[in-house]
Structure 1
Amino acid sequence: MPQTEVSTADIASQFNEVSVQAISGMRASFSTQSALYEVAAIVLAIFVSLLIYRYLRKWIYRHMPPARSPEFGQKIQRWVLLFVKSTSFSITGSILLWVATQILGLTSLVDVEASRLMLMRTANQVFLAWAILRIMLLLLTAAFGPKLLAPVVKKTVAVIFWICAVLQIAGILPSLVNWMSAVALPIGSTQISLWSIVTGSCTVIVTLGAANMLSQLCESAVISSELDSNLQVVSVRILRITFFSLAVLLALSWSGIDLTVLSVFSGAIGVGIGFGMQKIAANYISGFIILFDRSVKLGDYIQMSGFSGVITQINTRYSVIRNLQGEEMIIPNEMFITNSVKNLTLTDKASAQFVVVSVAYDADVTKALDLALDAVKGQPRVLATPAPWAIVSDLGDSGIDIKAGFFIQDPEKGTGTLKSNIIREILRKYAQAGIEIPYNKLDVTIVSQPERQEASAS
């Protein structure tokens, strides 16, 4: 079916005609007695809607879940409450105006055929447009996040939307769409209309936004489950890739782009990965291997490349290790496959720790061992099973070395403070028991000069 071409002059002429009709209709409405009833109904609808909105806003703020709550149910509850808060004023106003229109149409106060209640119908359309805009901004914020949807972007979207709403209310938008459909831009051997570009862009935004929202919901559901941490990361990543791949394919298909053209690009991408993106591809695949074989997991305490710390992130290309000093090291995932990694919490998070003190040779060694063991057992972080122990580890130059060993379940929290507390407690107990802590003693003999000469002469 051929499209009807609409020129710019036709649109301008139609705009002038609609403007004249609108102004004439407004004058006719204000010149009749019904204008007073319509204005009163509009003001009353705004007032009642504002009261309802303020009451709902206070109630919603009291029941709003945290913004970054990972739980699936709380995230759904937050979205529902935000929807009610964003649209309560406009939807309530639209409903009240519709009810007022029906009431005035049934009474004899207003001549409906003469005035056609133009003011109320226009106000109702404005309320509906406002509700649609609020819903659209809410969905865009939920889909792309508040950081991406900055205030400038929101204002731009709102301006474009209100321009389209005014054109739709005035009856000009269909002619403008026909004109954009008739204007074609040559791209290679094909021609694409302006309207196809607009609809294609909107389709891409909608599909990508829907994919992001679905992935966020699935991520919340997976995190709230009892799956292993690695399986959670793998599931979320696979779902995100699946949703975005489907979104891109649907957007291209709905935009009228032949998907067979993508075979050429896929071949080019394969060549690019084979030559210039080997490391990126290797790190990407290594990330999935790490997550599947569970050689390292989130929260594991590892030592690698002279750096030790807790794994806080396993991303697509790299992982992040954070040490006890707050320093973070970014390690490409490929290094976990090609290099040796010392995982201190692979099968069991319990880690053996030791402290060594010395006592004098004339001290009661049995009592010293018992006191050291009591000092270790008194620390809350020390595990009861396996039980702590204390042994004589060495006979030093100045004293007997006492070595106390114990296990802790949380080595990622550090051991410096714990060992310091144990040593301080041992010193306190030894001081109370009269056990001496030895120190190096050197016997220095001073030989005078005459004695040295006699010794050398003899």
Structure 2
Amino acid sequence: MGRPWSRSVSELFQSLVLAAETMLMSLLRPWVGYQVLIALALFVIAHLLRRWLGPPIRTWMGTREGWPKWRMRVLVVIHQRLRQIFFVTLIWLVVLVMREVTWPSRSYILSLVGTLALAWLLVTFATRLIRSILLRRLVRLGALIYVTLYILGIVDQASRILDAAAISIGEFRLSLLMIVQGIVVIGVLLALARFVTTTTSARVARNEDISPSMRVLITKVVQIVFYALAFFIGVRSLGIDLTGLAVLSGAIGVGLGFGLQKVVSNLVSGVIILLDKSIKPGDVISLGDTFGWIQTLGARYASVVTRDGREYLIPNEDLITGQVVNWSHSNEFVRLDIYFGTAYGDDPHVVRKLAVEAAGDVERVLTSRPPVCHIVGFGDSSVDYILRFWITDPTGGLTNIRGNVYLALWDIFKENDISIPFPQREVLLLGRDQPTDTFADTPAPSASSKSPG
């Protein structure tokens, strides 16, 4: 393995020396030197244009407040590459003019420089689609090297050198060329997968005909499919035989059966939840002592945000096996009940009427489904009532709406002299001169309850 690599390096060095000698000899020609000077002058002009037009363009970009984020990001990338854009534009304008007024050979160097500059600019724009900074830099570097070698016409020589540097393990052979190709191909495919999934997710999210749970399911399926395709195609580009993964998948299956039961259970439970639409983002649920609304549905857990700002990550398995109260499953209507009592001296017909009137005046209480009030029993010191009313926004809280209704009852009862009874105890103290043996014959006085009214 050492001889082919050293021989290839020697051949490359000799070819580079010959190319350098040829280039130096060509620079001695007048028109070649003129083209190099023209390219340098155009670069200086592009730099001056960048400094002159850059600030006004930046100011104009600041006034585009209503534009979408993706359009603003494109403008930012263009603003960062103004020098390259100006240089590519100027050099190709000069090449077109020179081809019309002189021989093509006298603009060959300018054409070569313009082609390289345009290719580098396109690679820079294309790699901006890659979110990962490290992966973006690796793909950009590999793509820049490849397009440079391709334009200069030395791709074959470089490929032979990279392919010679390889290691072999059995029938498997891994070379530097395969690694470079794999990085570039996987990076490009991951960028395309991210672009497709992001576009699909945005379109699905805007479709009102699809339920929220199905939107989440479609998005996750698209992500899994495209990222899996990007990975397998990238691995295949390295020349790795994927049939060997069958043994690995069997080993992974055994590991899942022993150590990852809960993880797999949560993943399967998440798919079931998305398919049966029992729980979806935005639903208000209560599970045990947790009450809140579902913010997101993940592959392993659901994010539930409570009224006090706490965010609970509930495993999907608990949502399947536990008793979950979904306050907004089939519809948004939620009925709330509150209990209260009044004195026996108050007319129950008037009490019921005032209670319904008080609840109807509270904000968030539905008038399309008017409140109702019923007697539920005769207590020791009060007539007991139940007041029922409906709301459609459980995410706004349940305790606060109950408190507002209780406060409205208090105000209207106070205005109409309706008494809210409460137990009272009366304690009798015995005198010291009373014989102690009389306690056995005389029953002790008990506490008595009194109710006002």
Relative to the length of structure 1, the TM-score reads: 0.80
Q: Aligned match of 1:199 in 181, 192, 200?
A: 181
**Aligned partner of residue 311 in structure 1, secondary structure:** strand
In 2 relative to 1, CA 324–256 (structure 1 residues): closer, same or farther, beyond 3 Å?
A: same
User: Match of 1:397?
Assistant: 380
User: Match of 2:160?
Assistant: 178
Task: Map residues 121-132 of structure 1 onto 2, 5 A cutoff.
Answer: 124-125=114-115, 127-132=117-122
Contact 2:143–2:184 (Cα < 8 Å) also in 1: no
Tell me by how many angstroms 1:163 deviates.
6.7
Amino acid at match of 2:179: I
In structure 2, distance between residues paired with 1:358 and 1:372: 11
In 2 relative to 1, CA 325–27 (structure 1 residues): closer, same or farther, beyond 3 Å?
A: farther
Tell me by how many angstroms 1:345 deviates.
2.4
Amino acid at match of 2:159: V
Task: Map residues 22-61 of structure 1 onto 2, 5 A cutoff.
Answer: 22=23, 39-48=40-49, 57-61=58-62
336-345 or 196-205: bigger deviation = 336-345
Amino acid at match of 2:125: I
Contact 2:284–2:291 (Cα < 8 Å) also in 1: yes
Contact 2:292–2:307 (Cα < 8 Å) also in 1: yes
Tell me by how many angstroms 1:363 deviates.
3.0
Percent of aligned pairs with the same amino acid? 26
CA deviations on 1:340-359 (whole Å, 9 max, x unpaired) are 32323222332221233333
82-91 or 293-302: bigger deviation = 82-91
CA deviations on 1:321-356 (whole Å, 9 max, x unpaired) are 222222232222223333332323222332221233
Amino acid at match of 1:140: I
382-391 or 332-341: bigger deviation = 332-341
In 2 relative to 1, CA 80–42 (structure 1 residues): closer, same or farther, beyond 3 Å?
A: closer
391-400 or 277-286: bigger deviation = 391-400
- RMSD of equivalent CA atoms: 3.6
User: Match of 2:89?
Assistant: 95
In 2 relative to 1, CA 27–50 (structure 1 residues): closer, same or farther, beyond 3 Å?
A: farther
Contact 1:29–1:117 (Cα < 8 Å) also in 2: no
Tell me by how many angstroms 1:209 deviates.
2.3
User: Match of 2:308?
Assistant: 325
Structure 1 residue runs of 5 or longer lacking an equivalent are 68-74, 142-147
Q: Aligned match of 1:220 in 183, 198, 202?
A: 202
Tell me by how many angstroms 1:451 deviates.
4.1
Residues 1:432 and 2:418 are matched in the alignment: no
Contact 1:49–1:90 (Cα < 8 Å) also in 2: no
Task: Map residues 71-90 of structure 1 onto 2, 5 A cutoff.
Answer: 77=71, 81=75, 84-85=78-79, 89-90=83-84
Amino acid at match of 1:202: V
Tell me by how many angstroms 1:140 deviates.
1.4
In structure 1, distance between residues paired with 2:82 and 2:282: 44
Task: Map residues 403-422 of structure 1 onto 2, 5 A cutoff.
Answer: 403-422=386-405
Amino acid at match of 1:222: V
Tell me by how many angstroms 1:160 deviates.
6.6
Residues 1:279 and 2:270 are matched in the alignment: no
In structure 2, distance between residues paired with 1:36 and 1:11: 29
In structure 1, distance between residues paired with 2:140 and 2:412: 74
Contact 1:181–1:194 (Cα < 8 Å) also in 2: yes
In structure 2, distance between residues paired with 1:252 and 1:155: 20
In 2 relative to 1, CA 313–197 (structure 1 residues): closer, same or farther, beyond 3 Å?
A: same
In structure 2, distance between residues paired with 1:102 and 1:455: 128
**Aligned partner of residue 241 in structure 1, secondary structure:** helix
**Aligned partner of residue 130 in structure 2, secondary structure:** helix
**Aligned partner of residue 129 in structure 2, secondary structure:** helix
In 2 relative to 1, CA 343–34 (structure 1 residues): closer, same or farther, beyond 3 Å?
A: closer
In structure 1, distance between residues paired with 2:232 and 2:33: 56
Tell me by how many angstroms 1:224 deviates.
0.9
Tell me by how many angstroms 1:397 deviates.
3.4
In structure 2, distance between residues paired with 1:126 and 1:31: 17
Tell me by how many angstroms 1:180 deviates.
0.9
Task: Map residues 12-411 of structure 1 onto 2, 5 A cutoff.
Answer: 12-19=13-20, 21-22=22-23, 39-48=40-49, 57-61=58-62, 62=64, 65-67=67-69, 77=71, 81=75, 84-85=78-79, 89-107=83-101, 118=109, 120=110, 124-125=114-115, 127-141=117-131, 148-149=132-133, 175-226=157-208, 227-411=210-394
Tell me by how many angstroms 1:52 deviates.
5.9
In structure 1, distance between residues paired with 2:52 and 2:113: 18
In structure 1, distance between residues paired with 2:164 and 2:297: 51
Contact 1:215–1:239 (Cα < 8 Å) also in 2: yes
**Aligned partner of residue 316 in structure 1, secondary structure:** coil
- Tell me: higher relative CO, structure 1 or 2? Use CA pairs within 8 A at least 6 residues apart: 1
98-107 or 214-223: bigger deviation = 98-107
236-245 or 439-448: bigger deviation = 439-448
User: Match of 2:8?
Assistant: 7
Contact 1:11–1:172 (Cα < 8 Å) also in 2: no
In 2 relative to 1, CA 377–325 (structure 1 residues): closer, same or farther, beyond 3 Å?
A: same
Contact 2:27–2:33 (Cα < 8 Å) also in 1: no
In structure 2, distance between residues paired with 1:443 and 1:175: 108
Contact 2:46–2:84 (Cα < 8 Å) also in 1: no
User: Match of 2:448?
Assistant: none
Tell me by how many angstroms 1:179 deviates.
0.9
Amino acid at match of 2:87: G
Tell me by how many angstroms 1:126 deviates.
5.7
160-169 or 308-317: bigger deviation = 160-169
Amino acid at match of 1:343: N
CA deviations on 1:158-194 (whole Å, 9 max, x unpaired) are 6677677777777766533321122221223332221
In 2 relative to 1, CA 454–178 (structure 1 residues): closer, same or farther, beyond 3 Å?
A: closer
Structure 2 residue runs of 5 or longer lacking an equivalent are 443-453
In structure 2, distance between residues paired with 1:392 and 1:104: 99
In 2 relative to 1, CA 122–82 (structure 1 residues): closer, same or farther, beyond 3 Å?
A: same
